[in-house]
Amino acid sequence: MMNMRTICVGLSALLAAQLAMADPIPEENGFSGSIGLGVGGNRVKSNLFKGDKNQRTNSLNSAPESHNDSFALPVLDLSYTFAASRTQIVFDSQIHDPLGMDDTLELGVRQQVGNNGIVSAGLLYGGLNKNTWTDPYAVGVDRDGTKRKSTGLLLGWENIMGTGFKAQLTQRNIKIDDERSGQSVAGLSAADRATLNRNGDATLLKAGYEWAFAPNQTLTPGLSWGKDKLDGGAMSNKSYGLSLDYAYSSDLNTFSAGLQFRKQRFDQGNPLFGNKKADSNAYAVDLNYLRHQLFGEKALSAFVSAAYGKSNADISFYDAEIRSLGVGLIYSF
C-alpha cells in the first residue's frame, strides 16, 4: 500500500537529499545551506491520497481512478557550524518513506567524532501539507479531510568508522486528528472499525554504503526495515526495502537517479475485504538535475525533477500510482 499523502513536500525533500553526496561538516563557523522554490504537477491514482479532485470514490472493490494536481515545491536545507568543536546545527527535511513521499522536518545536531564518522540526533515533525481523509472508505459521498501529524526522534551515523557505510533510525508517533475509518460502512462492528485505526508508532531503519567509484561520482546501495505498530491491526505492517542511488556532481552540473523497491506485509486481515491482508509490492524511480551558476550567479541553480512510483496491493482498493514533474530555482550560501 503506497501512502500518497505528501507528494509535493516529499518530492522536494527527495530532491534535496538525493542530490547530496557525502556532506562533511564545514571548516569555518557560520550559516550555510540552500533555499528554493519551484512548481510541479502530479498525475495520481490513489484512493487514500487527499487531493482536490478525488473527494469521492464510487466503490471499495475497484482500483483508483487517476486525477491531476499541481503544487508548490519548496526546498529547505539550513545549518550553522561551530568549526572548533566540529558541531553542526541543522534544520531541513528528512525522508521517512521515499516510496510514499512521506517526509518530516528535522531540527538536529551533527557531531564529527574524529576519524570515526559523523553522528547525528534530531527532533522530527511532520504536519505541513499532510492531509488525509477522516474515512477513506466512504462511498458515493464527498469525503471529509483531516490532518495527519507525526512527531519523533532521529539517530544517524555517517562514514561509520571512516568507511562509506551509513545508517539512520527514526521513531515517530503518528496522529490522525479525526480518525473515522470505516464509520460510514453499514454493518461494520465497532471491533472491526478499530482494526482500521491509523494512529500509532512507526519505526524505520535504513543502512547503505556510499561508494565513490569515480571522480565526482557515487553509487549507494541500501537496505531498509520498517514497522508500523498502529492501533488498528489491519493497518499495522512490516516492510523490507532495497534502494540504489547514483549521483554525479561538478562545478556546473549535478545529476542523480534513484531506484527503490519495497515489500509491505500486514499483521491482520482487513474486515472490509473479507479479512484479506493488504500486502503490497511497490517501487519508485526518480531523476534529478541541477544546473549551477545560473546566469553567471555563483549561488543560483535551476533544477528539474521527475519521479514515478507504483504500488500493487493484494486488495485493489489500495493500488496506487504517481507521476510527478517539478522545476524551480535554488539559492545556496
Q: How do 145-158 and 131-133 pair as beta strands?
A: antiparallel
pLDDT tens readout for residues 11-64? 444 454 444 445 789 999 999 999 988 898 888 888 887 876 778 888 898 888
Residue 1 lies inside a defined structural domain of this protein? no
Name 245's Cβ contacts closer than 8 Å, sequence gap at least 6: 18, 208, 218, 219, 220, 222, 256, 257, 258, 259
pLDDT band, very low/low/confident/very high, at 10 (cuts 50, 70, 90): very low
* Domain-located, residue 294: yes
C-alpha cell at 96: 521517512
Q: How far apart are CA 226 and CA 241, in angstroms?
A: 9
Decide if 91 is inside a domain.
yes
Question: In the predicted model, is pLDDT for residue 82 greater than 90?
Answer: yes
Q: Cα angle at 9 between 242 and 104, to 5 degrees?
A: 70
Query: What integer best gives the mean pLDDT of the chain?
Result: 88
Q: Which residue has the higher pLDDT, 305 or 63?
A: 305
One-letter amino acid at 259 equals L
**What is the per-residue pLDDT for 98?**
53
Predicted confidence (pLDDT) at residue 178 exceeds the cutoff of 60:
yes
Q: Is residue 214 part of a domain?
A: yes
190 domain residue, yes or no:
yes
Domain that holds residue 30: 7-305+313-332
**Nine cell digits for residue 300:** 543560483
Which residue has 500493487 as its cell numbers?
A: 312
Three-class secondary structure of residue 93 per DSSP: strand
d(CA 79, CA 323): 32
Q: Report the domain count for the chain.
A: 1
d(CA 318, CA 312): 8
In a domain, 128, yes or no: yes
For residue 226, give the CATH number of its domain: 2.40.160
Residue with cell 555517517: 158
Pairing of strands 300-313, 280-291: antiparallel
pLDDT tens, residue by residue, 182-233? 999 999 999 999 999 999 999 999 999 999 999 999 999 999 999 999 999 9
pLDDT at position 2 is 45
Q: Average pLDDT, stretch 283-306?
A: 92
Using alpha carbons, list the distances in angstroms from residue 179 to 101, 104, 138. Answer: 21, 21, 13
> Which DSSP state fits 316?
G
Residue 2 in contact with residue 320, Cβ under 8 Å? Answer: yes
pLDDT band at 128 (very low <50, low <70, confident <90, very high): low
Look at residue 2 and tell me if it is in a domain. Answer: no
pTM listed for this prediction: 0.89
Quick check: is 264 in a domain? yes
